[in-house]
Amino acid sequence: MQTDQYRQMYLLEDHHWWFLSKRKFISVFWPKTKSRLKILDVGSGTGGLTKYLAKFGNVLGVEISSEAGRYLVQRKIKFVSKSIENCRFPEESFDFVVLGDVLYHSWIKNDQAVLKKISRWLRPHGYLLLTDSAGNFLTSKHDRKMMTRERYSLSVLSERLIKAGFTINRRSYCFFLTFPLFVVSRILNKVIDFDTVSETNKIINQIFLQITSWEAFLLRYFDLPWGSSLIILASKK
């Protein structure tokens, strides 16, 4: 992610509908557990999601960017300042690993190797919750700013998870109800350079939050057939 995008994320992620909606979808997929979990949040960014995950257990972040790390320090979040590929943790150290829009990044040279590493870090029957960008045909100028290597399909990412030693518990696309607007936005962004995630009018922000609340309700009962992102819950065999 380019440096200016981290500041934008920090300013937006606690009120912008897109970031708040992603947390709703994660909450729907999160398995019911009674005990406090030991959680690793890989790719913490500026810390909004990492802070949210603290309600489920004790969270350690991983973030390679020193620019993002400044915001993690401001939020008083404990984190390791390394790339996921250079991290070293003992085997079976964590109950839960979260990969929130990480694998797509151009810094990840071998996503299969990263998934295998995470499998080793998880305790038996531990969980991996993964969200990422969907649909390579949606690649635009925004993706270049975000340093996107690849946008995934559910089938491709599921296959890579299985090869890495995971069982797929549940998978779905998300941002389903807003998908038509997203497609139009990305088609325009292929030729016109503008920020696709930026400060939004309060009324419009609330409207989109309501739409994605309906989608979160649907996700409790149905897997969705398309969307601009995907979400997968997998467990270690």
Domain count, the chain: 1
What does the DSSP assignment read for 52-80? HHTTTEEEEEE---HHHHHHHHHTT--EE
Beta bridge partners of 61: 41, 79
- DSSP letter at 43 equals S
Which amino acid, one-letter code, is at 5? Q
Specify the amino acid at residue 136.
Answer: N
Written as tens digits, the pLDDT of the chain (237 aa) is: 556 778 889 999 999 999 999 999 999 999 988 788 999 999 999 999 999 999 999 999 999 999 999 999 999 999 999 999 899 999 999 999 999 998 888 788 899 999 999 999 999 999 999 999 998 877 766 666 667 778 899 999 999 999 999 999 999 999 999 999 988 887 787 767 656 567 889 999 999 999 999 999 999 999 999 999 999 999 998
Distance CA 82, CA 79 (A): 9
Q: What is the CATH number of the domain that holds 230?
A: 3.40.50.150
Structural domain that includes position 7: 3-236
Q: How far apart are CA 172 and CA 150, in angstroms?
A: 18
Residue 192 tokens, joined: 């016109």
